[in-house]
Amino acid sequence: MIGTVYFEETGEERHVKHTCLRCERIEGSFNGTHGVVSPYGMLHHGVDYGRTACGINADGPDWWWPL
């Protein structure tokens, strides 16, 4: 596990289990900015609202933006 993120508005927390290797290959190492956490706890690079660097549609309510 990498860490835990908190959603202040609701008090929810989510464990970040690992980073997306596809996003890392495209954008490089994570530096804590422009991160988006999937419902399953994977940290992706967010490139545009609703889209990750690896091409996943991340605009659902269970995706947490930004980190």
Domain ranges of the chain: 3-52
pLDDT of residue 31: 67
pLDDT band at 21 (very low <50, low <70, confident <90, very high): very high
Using CB atoms within 10 Å of the CB of residue 11, give its burial: 0 to 12 exposed, 13 to 18 middle, 19+ buried. exposed
∠57-59-63 over CA atoms, to 5°? 100
Q: For the chain, what is the radius of gyration of the CA atoms? A: 11
CA distances from 5 to 1, 25, 34, 39 (A): 12, 23, 14, 12
State the Cα–Cα distance between residues 18 and 3, nearest whole angstrom.
Answer: 9
pLDDT of residue 66: 67
pLDDT of residue 41: 94
pLDDT of residue 54: 95
pLDDT at residue 7 is higher than 80: yes
